[in-house]
Structure 1
Amino acid sequence: STIQRQRRELQLLMTELKDREKELNAMAASHLTQHRACEQYRQRVLTLEQRCARLDEVQKRNEVIRVLTKHVGVVETREKEAQRELSEARQQLCELEKKQQHIREKCQDFEEKNQSLSSTVMALSTQVGSLQVREEELSSMLKLKDQDVAKASSYILDLSGRLQDLETSLKESRSQESKLAKDLEENKLRYKEAGHKVTQLKGTLLKLCAKSIGNSGFFSELFVLYLLSFF
């Protein structure tokens, strides 16, 4: 819109310059008509002056056109830059719309999760209430259990005293058992030694009996059998 406005201004300026040129031409023609009677030299001078004036005017017009052309170029460059910025802004707007849609979807998901969490919190609140009631019941039971524990502790102390007495008796019994086992081992050793001695005596006695059988006759043999019956 700015470029178009400037172009229109430039066209108006060009039209005005052309009109002024026409006016100048008309004035020059009128002036030439009025001064035909003047000398040819003055006519030539006037013609040269007019041409110089026209040349200056054309130069001024050309300078104006050059400035306006440069300005138009700057404006076109700015317009291109504005178009580029507009394109970038549209692209950013599109991206923002996508992000906004994504955020809306996330917000919807969060709302659904929030509703689910609210339901869960309500259920947990109900469970907490039930647990508090159960806790009170357990506290009452625990107080009763504490009384039972106190009684059990007293009973355990009594049993511990009895157990210590039994352990003392057990130690004494084990000591006596060890002493009896030692005596038994000594008796076994003595029994073995006595058996060995009896075996030796038995052999000696048999030898003596064998010698006496031939000398004593039938009664001696009966006596030997009688002695052997003790072994």
Structure 2
Amino acid sequence: MAKYFDVHPENPQRRTISGVADSIRSGALIAYPTDSCFALGCQLGNREGLARIRQIRELGDKHHFTLVCQNFAQLGQFVHVDNDVFRAIKASTPGAYTFILKATSEVPRQLLHPKKKTVGVRIPDHVVTQALLEELGEPLLSSTLLLPGEDEPMTQGWEIKERLDHVVDAVVDSGDCGTRPTTVIDFSTGEAEIVRRGAGDTARFE
């Protein structure tokens, strides 16, 4: 049965956030809110958590997982960013964007696209997610909480708790969440390619 963490959306309780972070460090797979929609997340090196995300979402080996980072300095540890791309990403973060970039050696091999050696990264504009990332001190390995055969993610923590009670270890609820996943921009070739149009405005990447 999943733990249920009720978090204030504007002033996250430090004790509760600490409890969520402790669960993640202990190997938990969590469902948590972001500035786009709910996501599944676990610690970066959690191979079992990664396998469980693949199983829940029925994902193939070419799926791009995302490292959800607290800030740009942290993001820069995990992907290669040249000057032009740096400016474009910097102008769009924090926000509802995922950027696909060439990964550094800090990224576990099992997270990489098998041919391109790329990974997704993002910096969310969400108070609760940011508080959790600060407490963790490292990125969350994440994927949108979109179940197989469904067109939109679930928006309410209680519904996620009810439906995924036996497949996730914890649900973080800070109120209703959006239904549009992030806009995905592939910068792996140095040029912006819009892979998915979502919550983030694509105008600057057209």
TM-score (norm 2): 0.16
- Bigger proportion of residues as strand: 2
- Bigger proportion of residues as helix: 1
Structure with bigger gyration radius: 1
TM-score (norm 1): 0.15
Q: Relative contact order, CA 8 A, sep 6+: which one is greater?
A: 2
